[in-house]
């Protein structure tokens, strides 16, 4: 799996959009970009994933650059409950049977 | 919404003792995983399980570890002789119906905190 690089920490004001960047310059054509988050010591929580098109769901938006070497997770209206460690993970498309390799992620703090 | 459950939430054991961590994956899920996270460190993959056998295991998953799906609902992780360095949060995860072709999501449980003294 391709390696990812994320800033170790970020702050964002409550109510503003939180934009979390991720570099994955060695991503290959069949690898997806996944985002998970971990609130305190809870189990990681899936947020969103994408291959090459931008994606949006009820939690967030994912913007992937055209060359797929980087992406940005956007939390449109951050709340205090969004304070967590966010992980950008690149993984293949081996149906079902594929582990997640977590890095150190970005610790996002939402400021009241 | 269906969720993965784990018991106990906290287990304290003495070094050398056997422990069994239990997980109930989401019903109808097909793939099962164990991960662990030592305090302040990354979440690390331990083992994946599919069709009643181990699919992949990490270097951490040595002979002291074993997994089992004893019935249609439980998925267990056993550590035969615990060491101090086994102290960690252990997370179970499961994967189920593919939402879109070539993509899926892992659903994690809340974790079991294992403390070895």
3-state SS, chain B, equals CCCCEEECCEEEECCCCCEEEEEECCCCCCEEEEEEECCCCCEEEEEEEECCEEEEECCCCCCCEEEECCCCCCEEEEECCCCHHHCEEEEEEEECCCCECCECCCEECCCEEEEEC
> What is the Cα B105 distance to its own chain's centre?
16
| A98 → chain B, closest CA residue | B48
Question: Nearest chain A Cα to B89, which residue?
Answer: A41
**Record: contact B103-A102, CB cut-off 8 A:** no
Q: Is A53 on the interface with B (CB under 8 A)?
A: no
Contact A95/B at CB under 8 A: yes
- Could you tell me which residue, B15 or B103, shows the higher pLDDT? B15
Reply yes or no on whether the pLDDT at A86 is more than 50: yes
pLDDT score for B2:
79
Looking at beta carbons, which residues of chain A come within 8 Å of B93? Answer: 43-44
Q: What is the pLDDT of residues B49-101, one digit of tens each?
A: 988 899 999 999 999 999 999 887 899 999 999 999 999 999 999 987 555 54
Give the number of C-alpha atoms closer than 13 A to the C-alpha of residue B5, restricted to the C-beta side.
8
CA angle B77, A89, A32 (to 5 degrees): 110
What CA–CA distance (Å, rounded) separates A28 from A32?
9
Average pLDDT across chain B, whole number = 91
Is residue A61 within 8 Å of A74, Cβ to Cβ?
yes
* Facing residue for B55 by CB, picked from A38, A43, A97: A97
Q: Summarize the confidence of residues A60-82 as an average pLDDT.
A: 97
Would you state the structure tokens that stand for residue A104, as one six-digit string? Answer: 């150190």
Nearest to B23 by CA among B108, B89, B101, B114: B108
Question: CA dist B116 to A58, B81, B89, Å?
Answer: 40, 10, 12
Put simply, whether B105 touches A (Cβ < 8 Å) is yes
pLDDT at B101: 47
Q: What single DSSP character describes residue A33?
A: E
């Amino acid at each position: 799996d391709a390696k990812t690089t994320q800033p170790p920490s970020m702050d964002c004001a409550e109510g503003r959009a939180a934009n979390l960047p991720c570099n994955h310059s060695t991503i290959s054509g069949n690898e997806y970009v996944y985002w998970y988050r971990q609130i305190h010591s809870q189990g990681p929580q899936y947020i969103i994933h994408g291959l090459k098109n931008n994606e949006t769901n009820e939690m967030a938006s994912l913007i992937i650059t055209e060359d797929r070497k980087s992406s940005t997770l956007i939390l449109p209206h951050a709340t205090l409950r969004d304070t967590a460690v966010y992980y950008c993970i690149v993984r293949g498309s081996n149906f079902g049977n594929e582990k997640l390799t977590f890095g150190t992620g970005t610790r996002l703090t939402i400021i009241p | 919404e269906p969720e993965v459950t784990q018991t106990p939430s906290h287990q304290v054991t003495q070094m050398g003792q056997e422990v069994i961590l239990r997980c109930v994956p989401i019903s109808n899920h097909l793939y099962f995983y164990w991960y662990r996270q030592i305090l302040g460190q990354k979440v690390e993959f331990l083992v994946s399980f599919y069709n009643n056998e181990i699919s992949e295991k990490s270097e951490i998953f040595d002979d002291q570890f074993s997994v089992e799906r004893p019935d249609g609902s439980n998925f267990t992780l056993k550590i035969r002789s615990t060491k101090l360095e086994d102290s960690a949060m252990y997370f179970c995860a499961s994967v189920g119906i593919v939402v879109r072709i070539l993509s899926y999501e892992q659903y994690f449980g809340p974790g079991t905190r294992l403390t070895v003294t």
